[in-house]
Structure 1
Amino acid sequence: MKGNSIEDDDDDSFTEPLGRRSVFYYGMGHMLNDITAACWFTYLLLFLTDIGLSPRDAAMVMLSGQVADGFTTILAGELIANLSLYAVALIVFAVTKANTYADVENQYRWIAYSSIFVGCCFVGIFLFGTKEPRSRVGAQGNFHVRIAWAYWFKRVLYYEVAIVYVLTRLIVNVSQAYLAFYVINDLRMAQSAKALVPAIIYTCSFIVSVILQEIAWTGQRLKAYYTAGGIIWMFSGAAIIFLPRSMSAFMYIISIFIGVANALMMVTGISMQNVLIGENLGGCAFVCGSLSFLDKISCGLALYVLQSFQSCSPELQRTNAINVYISVTRFGLGLLPSCCALVGVAVTYSMKLHTPFSKPIMEPLLE
């Protein structure tokens, strides 16, 4: 009887929807990863160029990190996090002045130490509150059925989902990497804008993501919401390219639309992975790992190529007589994400997404 009871509990852990408490603790587990990822994409290139590295060398450092991260993912198989980072960054940039290379290093050192400390605290909460279910075995345990990699390469949907996911990650990560350059070097906004503008984007993304959680997803809805996010990004990208310095305050409004578009595209793009995997949980690791690998390598290469064309220093850009200077930063933050959004929407339109794939959580987050 006791053995049957344990088996029943294990079965329930796989079939019952998640409760509010489980969702909360799983979210806590993402804090450290989200904080460090936000640091990496938002401030790494800016920090490396501020301390004297050339744009190409700075991009090489980021590319090497992306390659290492991608291979590690293959081998190893949001608001609070990002907003906490930008709150720390806002305080550091507003309070301390960066007059020398040593001052710049101290600024980013404080941001790094604070981010790691806060992230580790939340990892502790995650480990304390998360109960790991036992793996099901036996005749009914189909979770251990391994699926050959070749199976996925024979499915057209795998390539379509891979293209959409990689393009979506390119939009989010590349735009995040050039955001700080854009508001400081191109728009000449205050130093605090390096933290305030990203914070607005993440706040809007979080709000939209929570709202999207309440939707009963179907294939058509996934395609419709992804398309909506892509269209918003196209208009936002066009505004970024041609926004003059005299109208830099409009960047705060544009950041709201960017946050909404990021949430629409990321939530639906990741959900398409779930449609692809379906009930084939034995291949979940390969699908997620391979797409993550492609995402990291493509982001690193894109940033390296863009930085290779970054020949003008910030000082030269500031002395440019043209009010709207079409810099590499504007192309990286505006044109590239818009083109990726256009291709992603086109690929999404051709997808055949029919399989219902998700169950609602036990307790809606908005109640």
Structure 2
Amino acid sequence: MYSNTKYASTVLANLAVYGILAAFLQSDEAKSGVRPEDLKHFSNAAYIVIASGVVATLIFYALTKEPKGYQIKLLNDSSEPAVKQMSFSNWLCEPQFYQISALYTLSRLYMNVSQVYFPFYVTFGQNFSKMIFILGCLVGIANCAWMYFPLDKADLFIVSIIFGGVQAVLLVGSLAFTSDLINKNTESAAFVFGAMSFLDKLVNGLVYQIIELFNPECRDDQNNIACTHFYRIIMAYVPGCCLVLALIVLLSLLTKKIGAR
């Protein structure tokens, strides 16, 4: 139930961003599409999103209280060994914390770069097991390699379907691995998910910034060949490299039990 609510809220938040931006653009009297003068609308939308996030975060921390006298309860106190409580400093000394963080971040980076740049590519160019996660990585790598070549409309539909399947496997798989890593140490689960989410956002932002430094500034029909080549390379290499790195990290975990300490 929690996951359903979380992802439904994420979808609504994403739609709200598009709604805010659409309202700003509709308020402009010009009907010639997006122009350099519309930069102010994008800036204002970004300010609203950031301010809303800050306010929501402050409200969450102000109104959410930890239950008093909270203690970890074992399923069978008599038969199971005591669970070692994990503080944030303990997690920072845990090797699997960094391995699962890498899997989580690379999975999100693959998804986000694919979702952000796939429209440009089309416009200008034409509880999971480790083995399923590996299969998802391999299929995703093959899909990225396929996109390096010119595609017709039918191929684009197939590529999109494969993208959706791979993204589902990676997202659910990385979240399942994170839950396995936490195991029964739920007293510090918020730190684990928070740290991975922070790393995910940080790496995504850095990668986007680096990509945009090499953007050939596609405008209408100008520089169209360079744009086609640019987005083809982005969609083939960036998500593909993420999956290769994720596959390497996962292979290092193949013989280990995630969450065993």
Range into which the TM-score falls when normalised by the shorter chain:
0.7 to 0.9
The within-5 A match list for 1:286-365 is 286-316=191-221, 319-320=224-225, 325-327=228-230, 329-351=231-253, 352-354=255-257
Match of 2:172 in 1: 267
CA distance in 2, matches of 1:75, 1:243: 49
Task: State yes or no: 1:224 paired with 2:131.
Answer: yes
Give runs of aligned pairs for residues 79-118 of structure 1, distance below 5 A.
none
Decide whether the 8 Å contact of 2:125 with 2:150 is kept in 1: no
Quote the residue 2:36 is aligned against: 52
Q: CA deviation at 1:270?
A: 0.9
Give matches, 1:1-150, under 5 Å: 23=1, 27-37=4-14, 50-52=34-36, 137=69, 141=73, 147-150=86-89
Structure 2 CA distance for partners of 1:165 and 1:28, relative to 1, 3 Å? closer
The one-letter code of the counterpart of 1:343 is L
Query: What is the percentage of aligned positions where both structures have the same residue?
Result: 23
Deviation at 1:310, TM superposition (A): 1.1
Paired with 2:135 and 2:70, the residues of 1 have a C-alpha distance of 45
Indicate how the Cα distance of structure 1 residues 154 and 53 shifts in structure 2: closer, same or farther if over 3 A, else same: farther
Contiguous gaps of at least 5 residues in structure 1: 1-22, 78-133, 188-212, 358-367
Supply the AA of the counterpart residue of 1:169: R
State the secondary structure of the residue aligned to 1:242: coil
Alpha-carbon distance in 1 for matches of 2:242, 2:58: 24
Q: Distance in 2 between matches of 1:75 and 1:168?
A: 30
Q: CA deviation at 1:148?
A: 2.2
* 2:91 pairs with 1:152: yes
3-state SS in 1 of match to 2:228: coil
Compute the displacement of 1:157 (Å): 0.2
2:140 is aligned with 1:183 = no
Residues 273-294 of structure 1 show CA distances to partners (whole Å, capped at 9, x for unaligned) of 0111111001101000010011
Aligned residue for 1:159, secondary structure, equals helix
Q: CA deviation at 1:239?
A: 1.5
Q: Aligned to 1:311, what secondary structure does the other structure show?
A: coil
Query: What are the ranges of 5 or more consecutive residues in structure 2 without an aligned counterpart?
Result: 26-32, 75-83
Q: Aligned pair in 2 of structure 1 residues 39, 180: CA closer, same or farther (>3 Å)?
A: farther
2:79 is aligned with 1:174 = no
2:240 counterpart letter in structure 1: S
3-state SS of 2:86 partner? coil
Shift of 1:330: 2.3
1:316: Cα distance to partner?
3.9
Query: Cα–Cα, structure 1 residues 319 and 279, in superposed 2: closer, same or farther, change >3 Å?
Result: closer
- Deviation of 1:234 (Å): 0.7
* Backbone CA RMSD of aligned residues: 4.1
